[in-house]
């Protein structure tokens, strides 16, 4: 059998699998090379390989290798659970980004003690180092096989596979699981693993289904990697915005208002700076701004379709026999602003922004610090455009998104969300709208994934996702193309032909919500915000009270420049004052002793670079001014 291995043609015996081949090649391969790719696709090492194919032997460092490791770890987990609880029903157990999980249907929920016992049992399985063997069964035999094992969820999975699907199983010791692979060759390779948590999860991710018990874990090829990962997770917890919000005195959420965040004076500086930048940016890009009421008559929400599609999330109250709703979205208000007059095509595009406060009654379990709240400010905008303008306007909005995310040094991921089940409008509208967004993304050459059925009820959308400190992603920016609201509200503009035409609406945000964005920013910078955003930009501290007057003069000078300065005249040692300012992530610490007071200078310390030496006050002002104005990171 001729096979091209790692780009080189080689002769092998018929019936060999990737593992055998890797074994024969041991001489020129690293011991770790145990994952393979066949004709570009990652395969199980124990799958048989025919001649005339391209085989690439990969190292464990490869992402596919880690994926196989974690998938094998999830099988070991399931095997261990079955040993301790033979009645457990297995659902699914995939590898995920940083680990793996397995879902079980059990009579009694798992306890932390059980988790520890499972981990011990897993160690036994790893020690035994059983080989994983792959085999295939025809559909009916496969169903019989899993039913004999008392695994109804597996039978359901097989029944839902397409009729031409290959149904494969992996066996290790006494345990066999339905699985497409690939896997590591034996359980002994799962050396460094840890079970992390227990959680509930609905069967097939549908809340109408039974809630199963999920065990999360992670696995690495060696102990050092695992320890390093666990250490990084611990470190990441220190960046948690809920913790930093309290430590840096920025914001908090109290029991008295679940999901309703409070912003303290320092947190308000962040908000105000973000809003100030937002207004400047939008003015530059041809936007105007409006403001619409927080509370509006229910009739408006019925007309917009929100009442039909979103009422579980709407807060409402009766006023003089009429029901009023706290707005969950800004668009109907914006539409009323649009409809106040007749528009000419000459006036379009109309780009109208609004920092709009919305209230949504989110499920209690969904709340998460500032990331998921019940009251937030969207940096919203509605673009009223002609159909011909769609592509250019979407591209224009994307460029603003890109500009803003780059300003903060964010990496972002783009998703295109298509028509959901519970939506309004015609197929034609949805197709046209989706094609419009797609066309813009393709023209921009932006990589994106498609999120089937996740659009807004009135139109498809492009979403921008940003990462938090532990790698969870949150949707921030969005561009939603809407041909439904203009129809429902009978909106129009007068075209060159003197006739009325239907405009198209673009709903969009860049920050998404000021609250969520501040949460992401706080974690991204670990509280050490760039100078232009820092709630306190400099802290002036004296060595003895003989420098107090000079310190006050310096404070006055910097304040006159519009800089945010704190004064620390306390009778404390300079080391202590520095420590506190450093822990508060103060960008600049300005130290004044006898020397500096005499010279009209100050000793400058940067939180990043440490002591920068003595600087004349006017030089300092210029330095800070330049850094603030450049919005440098």
- Binding flag, residue 163, RNA (CB under 7 A): no
Q: Which of 218, 418, 478, 484 binds RNA (CB under 7 A)?
A: 478
Indicate which residue of 378, 475, 537, 584 is catalytic.
378
Q: Which of 37, 67, 71, 214 binds RNA (CB under 7 A)?
A: 214
Residue 34: Cβ within 10 Å count = 24
Query: What tokens does 157 get?
Result: 């999975």
The answer to whether 26 is a known catalytic residue is no
- Distances 419 to 304, 423, 438, 453, 454 between C-alpha atoms, Å: 17, 7, 13, 5, 6
x/- contact string, 82-111, with RNA (CB under 7 A)? ---------------------------x-x
Q: Which of 595, 623, 627, 631 binds RNA (CB under 7 A)?
A: 595
Quick one: 454 or 566, whose CB is closer to RNA?
454
What lies within 8 Å, CB to CB, of 199 at 6+ separation is: 213, 214, 216
DSSP, collapsed to helix, strand or coil, labels residue 244 as helix
Indicate which residue of 461, 465, 508, 577 is catalytic.
461
Quick one: 104 or 170, whose CB is closer to RNA?
104
Quick one: 242 or 557, whose CB is closer to RNA?
242
Quick one: 126 or 437, whose CB is closer to RNA?
437
The answer to whether 380 is a known catalytic residue is yes
Quick one: 169 or 216, whose CB is closer to RNA?
216
Q: Which of 238, 399, 472, 500 binds RNA (CB under 7 A)?
A: 472
Indicate which residue of 360, 516, 539, 605 is catalytic.
360
Q: Which of 119, 303, 415, 454 binds RNA (CB under 7 A)?
A: 454
- Binding flag, residue 397, RNA (CB under 7 A): no
The answer to whether 172 is a known catalytic residue is no
Taking the complex as a whole, how short is the minimal distance between the CB of residue 34 and RNA, in angstroms?
29
- Binding flag, residue 474, RNA (CB under 7 A): yes
Whole-angstrom distance, CA of residue 254 vs CA of residue 168: 52
The answer to whether 507 is a known catalytic residue is yes
Find the farthest-apart pair of alpha carbons in the chain and give their distance in angstroms, rounded.
92
x/- contact string, 537-556, with RNA (CB under 7 A)? ------xxxx----------
Q: Which of 593, 615, 623, 627 binds RNA (CB under 7 A)?
A: 593
Helix (H) or strand (E) holding 198: strand 192-202
Quick one: 255 or 497, whose CB is closer to RNA?
255
Taking the complex as a whole, how short is the minimal distance between the CB of residue 144 and RNA, in angstroms?
30
The residue range among 76-84, 119-127, 280-288, 578-586 that interacts with RNA, by the rule CB under 7 A, is 578-586
Question: Using H for helix, E for strand and C for coil, what is the string for 467-527?
Answer: ECCCCCEEEEEEEEEECHHHHHCCCCEECCCCCEECCEEEEEECCCCHHHHHHHHHHHCCC
Quick one: 260 or 345, whose CB is closer to RNA?
260
Q: How many residues bind RNA (CB under 7 A)?
A: 78
Whole-angstrom distance, CA of residue 84 vs CA of residue 64: 30
Quick one: 133 or 454, whose CB is closer to RNA?
454
Nearest to 250 by CA among 30, 515, 487: 515
- Binding flag, residue 586, RNA (CB under 7 A): no
Whole-angstrom distance, CA of residue 522 vs CA of residue 536: 14
Partner residues linked to 216 by β-bridges:
101, 197
Taking the complex as a whole, how short is the minimal distance between the CB of residue 112 and RNA, in angstroms?
7
- Binding flag, residue 50, RNA (CB under 7 A): no
- Binding flag, residue 599, RNA (CB under 7 A): no
Fill in the DSSP letter of residue 48. Answer: B
Q: Which of 77, 397, 578, 620 binds RNA (CB under 7 A)?
A: 578
Indicate which residue of 507, 539, 585, 605 is catalytic.
507
Sequential DSSP letters for 56-68? EEE-TTSHHHHHH
State which of positions 257-316 bind RNA (CB under 7 A).
258-259
Whole-angstrom distance, CA of residue 544 vs CA of residue 567: 13
DSSP, collapsed to helix, strand or coil, labels residue 572 as coil
The answer to whether 237 is a known catalytic residue is no
- Distances 205 to 92, 178, 200, 201, 313 between C-alpha atoms, Å: 11, 19, 11, 7, 21
Quick one: 134 or 605, whose CB is closer to RNA?
605
State which of positions 501-520 bind RNA (CB under 7 A).
509, 512-513, 515-516
State which of positions 236-255 bind RNA (CB under 7 A).
242, 246, 253, 255
Sequential DSSP letters for 299-317? HHHHHHTHHHHHGGG--EE
Indicate which residue of 103, 240, 380, 468 is catalytic.
380
- Binding flag, residue 522, RNA (CB under 7 A): no
Dihedral over alpha carbons 249, 253, 256, 258 (to 10 degrees): 180
Q: Which of 583, 616, 626, 632 binds RNA (CB under 7 A)?
A: 583
Alpha helices by DSSP H, listed for 239-364, are: 241-247, 265-284, 298-304, 306-310, 331-338
Whole-angstrom distance, CA of residue 330 vs CA of residue 181: 47
Indicate which residue of 290, 331, 375, 476 is catalytic.
331
State which of positions 174-213 bind RNA (CB under 7 A).
197-202, 205-207, 211, 213
State which of positions 322-361 bind RNA (CB under 7 A).
360
The answer to whether 331 is a known catalytic residue is yes
Quick one: 74 or 172, whose CB is closer to RNA?
74
Whole-angstrom distance, CA of residue 25 vs CA of residue 22: 5
**Burial grade of 232 (CB within 10 A; 0-12, 13-18, 19 or more):** middle
Q: Which of 162, 265, 364, 428 binds RNA (CB under 7 A)?
A: 364
Taking the complex as a whole, how short is the minimal distance between the CB of residue 146 and RNA, in angstroms?
23
Taking the complex as a whole, how short is the minimal distance between the CB of residue 91 and RNA, in angstroms?
11
Is the sign of the CA dihedral 261, 262, 267, 272 positive or negative?
positive
Q: Which of 116, 283, 363, 556 binds RNA (CB under 7 A)?
A: 363
- Beta carbons of 43 and 37 less than 8 angstroms apart: yes
Computed over its alpha carbons, how large is the radius of gyration of the chain?
A: 30
The answer to whether 339 is a known catalytic residue is no
The residue range among 35-43, 173-181, 402-410, 576-584 that interacts with RNA, by the rule CB under 7 A, is 576-584
- Binding flag, residue 372, RNA (CB under 7 A): yes
State which of positions 600-619 bind RNA (CB under 7 A).
603, 605, 607, 610-611, 614
- Distances 185 to 17, 102, 124, 565 between C-alpha atoms, Å: 11, 20, 17, 62
Indicate which residues carry an active-site annotation: 331, 360, 378, 380, 382, 461, 507
């Amino acid at each position: 059998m001729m096979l091209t291995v790692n780009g080189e043609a080689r002769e092998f015996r018929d019936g060999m699998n990737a593992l055998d081949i890797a074994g024969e090649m041991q001489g020129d391969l690293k011991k770790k090379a145990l994952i393979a790719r066949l004709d570009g696709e990652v395969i199980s090492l124990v799958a048989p390989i025919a001649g005339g194919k391209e085989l690439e032997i990969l190292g464990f460092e490869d992402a596919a290798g880690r994926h196989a490791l974690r998938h094998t770890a999830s099988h070991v987990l399931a095997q261990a659970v079955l040993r301790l609880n033979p009645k457990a029903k297995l659902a699914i157990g995939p590898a995920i980004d940083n680990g793996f999980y397995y879902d079980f249907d059990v009579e009694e929920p798992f306890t932390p003690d059980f988790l520890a016992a499972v981990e011990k049992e897993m160690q036994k399985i790893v020690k035994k180092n059983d080989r994983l063997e792959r085999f295939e069964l025809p559909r009916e035999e496969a169903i019989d096989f899993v039913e004999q094992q008392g695994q109804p969820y597996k039978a359901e999975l097989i029944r839902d596979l397409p009729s031409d699907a290959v149904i494969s199983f992996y066996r290790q010791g006494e345990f066999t699981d339905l699985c497409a692979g690939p896997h590591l060759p034996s359980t002994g390779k799962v050396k460094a693993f840890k079970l992390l948590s227990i959680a509930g999860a609905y069967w097939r991710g549908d809340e109408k289904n039974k809630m199963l018990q999920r065990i999360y874990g992670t696995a690495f090829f060696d102990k050092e990697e695992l320890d390093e990962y666990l250490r990084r997770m611990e470190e990441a917890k220190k960046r948690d915005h809920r913790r930093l919000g309290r430590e840096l005195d920025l914001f908090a959420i109290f029991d008295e208002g679940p999901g309703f965040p409070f912003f303290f004076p320092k947190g308000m500086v962040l908000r105000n700076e973000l809003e100030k930048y937002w207004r400047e940016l939008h003015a530059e890009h041809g936007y105007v701004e409006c403001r619409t009421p927080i509370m509006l008559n229910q009739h408006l929400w019925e007309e917009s379709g929100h009442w039909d599609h979103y009422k579980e999330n709407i807060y409402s109250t009766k006023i003089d026999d009429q029901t009023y709703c706290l707005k969950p979205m800004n668009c109907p208000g914006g539409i009323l602003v649009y409809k106040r007059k007749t528009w000419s095509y000459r006036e379009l595009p109309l780009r109208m922004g609004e920092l709009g406060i919305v209230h949504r009654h989110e499920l209690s379990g969904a709340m998460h610090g500032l990331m998921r709240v019940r009251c937030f400010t969207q940096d919203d905008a509605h673009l009223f455009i002609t159909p011909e303008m769609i592509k250019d306007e979407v591209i224009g909005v994307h460029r603003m998104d890109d500009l803003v995310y780059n300003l903060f040094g964010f990496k972002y991921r783009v998703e295109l969300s298509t028509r959901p089940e519970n939506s309004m409008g015609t197929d034609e509208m949805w197709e046209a709208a989706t094609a419009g967004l797609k066309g813009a993304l393709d023209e921009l050459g932006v990589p994106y994934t498609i999120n089937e059925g996740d659009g807004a009820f009135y139109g498809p959308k492009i979403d921008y996702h940003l990462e938090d400190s532990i790698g969870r992603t949150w949707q921030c920016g969005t561009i939603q193309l809407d041909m439904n609201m203009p129809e429902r509200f009978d909106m129009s503009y007068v075209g060159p032909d003197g006739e009325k035409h239907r405009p198209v609406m673009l709903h969009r945000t860049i920050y998404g919500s000021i609250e969520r964005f501040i949460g992401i920013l706080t974690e991204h910078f670990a509280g050490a915000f760039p100078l232009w955003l820092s709630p306190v930009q400099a802290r002036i501290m004296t060595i003895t009270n003989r420098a107090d007057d000079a310190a006050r003069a310096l404070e006055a000078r910097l304040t006159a420049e519009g800089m945010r300065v704190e004064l620390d005249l306390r009778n404390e040692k300079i080391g202590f004052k520095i420590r506190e300012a450093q822990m508060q992530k103060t960008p600049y610490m300005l130290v004044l002793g006898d020397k500096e007071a005499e010279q009209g200078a100050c000793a400058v310390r940067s939180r990043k670079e440490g002591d920068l030496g003595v600087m004349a006050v006017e030089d300092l002002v210029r330095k800070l001014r330049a850094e603030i104005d450049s919005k440098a990171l």
